[in-house]
Structure formats: C-alpha cells, structure tokens
Amino acid sequence: MGSSGTDRVALVTGGSGGIGRAVAERLAADGTAVAVHYAGNRERAQAAVAAVTGAGGRAITVAGDVADENAMAAVFDEAEAAFGGIDVVVNTAGTMVLGPIADFDLDALDRMHRTNVRGAFVVSQQAARRVRAGGAIINVSTSVSRLQFPGYGPYVASKRAVEGITLILARELRGRDITVNTVAPGPTATPLFLDGKSQEQVDALAAAPPLERLGRPEDIAESVAFLAGPARWVNGQTLYTNGGLA
C-alpha cells in the first residue's frame, strides 16, 4: 500500500487502444501491476498484456462495458483479486463522434455520452470506493475543450462533463490521500485520431503546436505516469498535454 511503484496496482480502462496501451506499458515500466481493460477488442488487449509481460511487467486483461456498473464492479473485483488492491485508475475509454450541433444525430449523442459521461462516472464511482490511500484517479478529457473546433461540440460536451466530475471528486475525497486529475491531450497520432483525416489535415494539425508535431501516445502516458506516481501535490486539476497548442 506504499508509494513505491513495485507494489502499486493500476486499472487502465480502454487499455487496448492507442493512448490506453501506452499508459499501461508506461505504468508497468515503473513497476506497477496493470489490469488492461477492454470492451470489445480482446486480441488488442491481449497484445498489450503481452507487451507488458514481455518487458518483465505484470498484467492481466479485464473486460466490461464502462457504463455498466455491475460489469465494472466485476472488473474492479478481478483486478483486486489478481493483485491485492488498486492504487491507480486511469480512465482512457471513450468514443468520439463529430458533427455540427445543428443537425447532430441525438441517438449518436446518447451513445457517445453513455460511454464518455456515464462510463467516466461509473469508473470514477468505483475508484472512489476502492482506491487505496496514496492512490490516484486520472480521467482523460481533450484539449479541444479550449480550442473550440467546429464539429466537436457534442464530444467536448461529454469531456467537459468528465472534467467537472474529476474536479468535484477530488474535493469529495478529502482526507483519503487520493488525488483526482484529468489529462487533456491535444491531437495525438492514434488510429482514432487519424481515421478519416486527409494528409493535409494531419499536416496542418501537426504544424499547429509550437513544437511542430503531433502528440504521441507515449507523450500522454508520460503525463499520466507523473500524476499516477510522483505528483502527489497536483490534485483537482486538468493537465493540458498538447505541446503548447492550447
């Protein structure tokens, strides 16, 4: 239950995806045992676990719908049974549907918000009940909440909700020695981000930050690892990890 990486345990939701997998591998490199959560893509989650164990780390896969409180209670149970407890919860699971507010499909809105808002709430709720003293809860938002790109309204609405949940939960956990923060990535070179974009669009976004490149999943994972371990005095914050874009 101490603070050293070797006895810490993390649950990473969406751990089979680009940022989630990078987070799982980065935390494992610090000596943290990792439960790699997935919803649908078992093979990718197993590949993430294989990458961790191949590098000498400890990892298992766990599966469930983040918006289903019973499924996620079972996921937390599995992680605790495998590793003895949970110190870090990183909630990277999310979906993104883009389109203008004026004609956005409300069923698509409901589906996205079920994963992004209810899912983040369910995971945060379980984390609030279970994370051990000295632990950290880390949600994932987006730098587009500052950038305000047209077409991102429904998605930003879901992620602003996540930031609000994070900021209040940090205060509600007073006295527990648990930090609660949000990482808000900028454009990051993941399949989710690159899908459907032209090379010109990708190049323009890469040129926009002062550092003149897209983020890498490893860049986001570095911020998560900071919040998950040494950053004990950072609490109730949104950390914009975007190369200076916003």
Catalytic residues: 155
95, 144 contact by CB (below 8 A) = no
Residue 245 maps to a domain: no
Weakly modelled stretches of the chain, pLDDT under 50: 1-4
Residue 246 maps to a domain: no
Residue 77 maps to a domain: yes
Is 27 exposed, middle or buried, given 0-12, 13-18 or 19+ CB atoms closer than 10 A? Answer: buried
Q: What is the dihedral of CA 228, 234, 236, 242, to 10 degrees?
A: -80
For position 196, what pLDDT does the model report? Answer: 82
14, 221 contact by CB (below 8 A) = no
Any idea what the CATH number is for the domain that residue 206 is in? 3.40.50.720
Place of tokens 């909440």: 145
Distances (CA, A) of 197 to 191, 204, 220: 10, 11, 21
For position 81, what pLDDT does the model report? Answer: 98
For position 209, what pLDDT does the model report? Answer: 93
Residue 212 maps to a domain: yes
Q: Specify the number of domains making up the chain.
A: 1
Query: What residue numbers bound the domain in which 159 lies?
Result: 5-240
Specify the pTM.
Answer: 0.95
Residue 52 maps to a domain: yes
* Spatial separation of the C-alpha atoms in residues 78 and 62, rounded to whole Å: 7
Residue 232 maps to a domain: yes
Residue 155 maps to a domain: yes
Residue 151 maps to a domain: yes
